[in-house]
Structure 1
Amino acid sequence: MALPGVRAGARAAATKMVQRCRRVDGTERSQSPGPGTQRAALYVHWPYCEKRCSYCKFNKYISRGVEEAAMRSCLVTEAQTLLQLSGVQRVESVFFGGGTPSLASPHTVAAVLEAVAQATYLPTHSEVTLEANPTSAPGSRLAAFRAAGVNRLSIGLQSLDDTELQLLGRTHSASDALQTLAEARSLFPGRVSVDLMLGLPTQQVGPWLGQLQELLCHCDDHISLYQLSLERGTALFAQVQQGALPAPDPELAAEMYQEGRAILREAGFRQYEVSNFARNGALSTHNWTYWHCGQYLGIGPGAHGRFMPQGAGRYVREARIQTLEPNNWMKEVMLFGHGTRKHTPLGELELLEEVLAMGLRTDVGITHQHWQQFEPQLTLWDVFGARKEVDMLLEQGLLLLDHRGLRCSWEGLAVLDSLLLTLLPRLQEAWQQRTPSSVPGR
């Protein structure tokens, strides 16, 4: 469930800033419940892959002798348990990610969806997305997933260059990718998303733009552009460290991104989030929940969630992560009904930091109404109005603060991580300057 930005260095710096901007007084009080308290999205993690790609650091395992019936039973049980714990009454979307969930049986997908529909309200029009890799998703299998309840596909093409695909450790070729894309579009018209990666070692701007132009001849109405993030512990990271491959050039990656987003805009795509582009209204409603800090439940080994458990006498949103290793996770689910490895209550400032950092990823940004659902005391004007550093960003045309709310401009979206280095400290300062009488419960 990675949500990468554009520049890895700036993203890391912004992440460190978020980690520093924490409440230090040790007090707690009930949080404003935020939008859609009884609504949530559901993420289901299938942890198995045919092989590990050279750039991947996700919680994945090679699928050898998978006891799918046992995994299916545990996914169903954990979904039932967490839905009951959360008090969620309506599931807006379901996303099967991984791993490679297209390796799972359509029967597993159907069983999870049936369990959700029995435990809570799952509208017939709810978005149900499945991530698919070209080599594990022939047309007949995609049709079976559609029959199981899937109505949207996210296909990990990553590249239309066979040499790049080999570098990334992918098991498909460019022709495999285009064939799968064509079959997917015939089965899920208007509901197929594709990923294209940029910033690879040795990658050049011109050829990459050529790939994007070719993809526009074949794609549906949703494209995601993701910059490669070199993760320690991956094969690609080791190759770069050892000098076998040159380090990716961040300036070239930035140029690819800028040129690519301009091409997509010209082709009628709306950049509704830093890395995501849609036309004809084909936005991912599931990811929209993440970016606007709605509740989401994470099911399966290593899945993450953000929701407000009920019945504990207080209402505080928790960050949750499930046990990573599949066999250990299954043992815990069979014993306790769920395999939660860690759950951490989010302080109010932490939650507001997420609202700010995630909301500004979208072209809509953060409306005044949305902000007040999380923070009824401090307005956006209180936090960011009449601040010298913020005024500079407004004057530069990177940021907008008006009657609609706070949002990035077209130019600002491309450098969001650097903007957060200015905005997050302003939020912390405004929070600390509140008088004790303005903070109930302190």
Structure 2
Amino acid sequence: MRRDEPAGKFSTTRRDVLASAGALAAGGLAGSARATSPEALAVDGGRPAVSIPTSKHADAFRWPLYGPTEEAAVLDVLRNPGYGPIDDLERDWREHFGVSYAKAHCNGTSAIAAMFFALNLPPGAEVLVPSYTFFASIVPMRLFGLVPAFVDVNPRTLNFDLDDARRRLTPNVRAMMPVHWMGLPCPMDDVSAFAREHGLALLEDVAHAPGAAYRGKPLGAWGRMSIFSYQTTKPLPAMEGGMGMYQDRADYERATSFGHSDIPAKFPADSPYRRYAGTGLGLKLRMNPMAAALARAQLAGLDARNTAGTAQVRRLNDRIAQLPGLVEPPCPADARRIYYANNILFLDESKAGASRAAIVKALQAEGVKAREHRYPLQHKMPLYAEAEWWHHKPLIPDLAGTEEANRTAIALPYFTSEVPELVDQYAQAFEKVWAHRDKLA
């Protein structure tokens, strides 16, 4: 659905929804461990709870959402070619996040590489980082002789586990980089205190969480440096692109000089990097101006989109999170989370009384786009077991929380358009499956 199209594109009425779902009792299992519907599960031949045709579901999950504003921004670059949109995006970004320094890059991975370069740590320095992340959070370290020190995640949040980080400390650890996974903020007061206690440079990977905040402070503004991604699936999509944010001028100038040969000429006269104008320090990481214009247009509507998407998730999760054994990731107090790509829940099979595989299969039969969520774990990739790529070979640990997360996570779609009938049918499908879960045991 285009952002300028009206909501309510499903013609199915509330009465149709309830009838097609077998007239589940009002309220279903909300606040209760049992349902009253006698209808058979769809996996056993009953009628699916989700009656809205699957051909119409794609609009409910469609991403990115571009409209006339984005089209006009890109057309303006075509009609007036130039690099001005990059400067415009950086200015708007600094104002939006309240930071002094920001530099756009061609993608989030290049922003991470520039950030690691800006650290200016000696070869062999280690960085605490979760294994439960995309490769780009880690692999660029090796270009500068840095080594990942893998840290476990909390299996109910998928975020950095500080208790495990304490166990992973070595004399070589010099920095740490939590990842705000799927838009859920890490508890940054505790994280910041940990970094200060151990004299570590604090970095943030905010690729999944632009617009999220902790205790009134935007994510990305807590660390010494942070990165964002504008890749197509991200909450602020510009097809490709990334942003680095920096608290200190020295970090900004060093990171910028790594991938931007033309920018050092604009540095103050006392900058040690000004003399590298015309060469930079190695790479060309400039963002495409069309992507910058697109990102800037998306930035203007970021908070509104995040708010609308969160409301959709709450409409579903506030209802189904009451079901026995179904666990929603807890959001830290005083935090504002957002959602990205998936709505992740966890199943405690002992409390649910059925296996994840059986429940997911039953939900799928009811018409729910659910799946068993297993994320590729970085510490198990061949790259980290091969010494030739690293200053010293990373330690490959046992990460119990990471393994548990992959055993228990269920991924639901993130509804990107307002589709209350479909959301309600999803809730009814969950309630129906839980009402008959003894048959799935």
Question: Normalising to structure 2: TM-score of the pair?
Answer: 0.27
User: Which is richer in strand?
Assistant: 1
Q: Which has the larger radius of gyration?
A: 2
Q: RCO higher in 1 or 2 (8 Å CA, sep ≥ 6)? A: 2
Question: Normalising to structure 1: TM-score of the pair?
Answer: 0.26
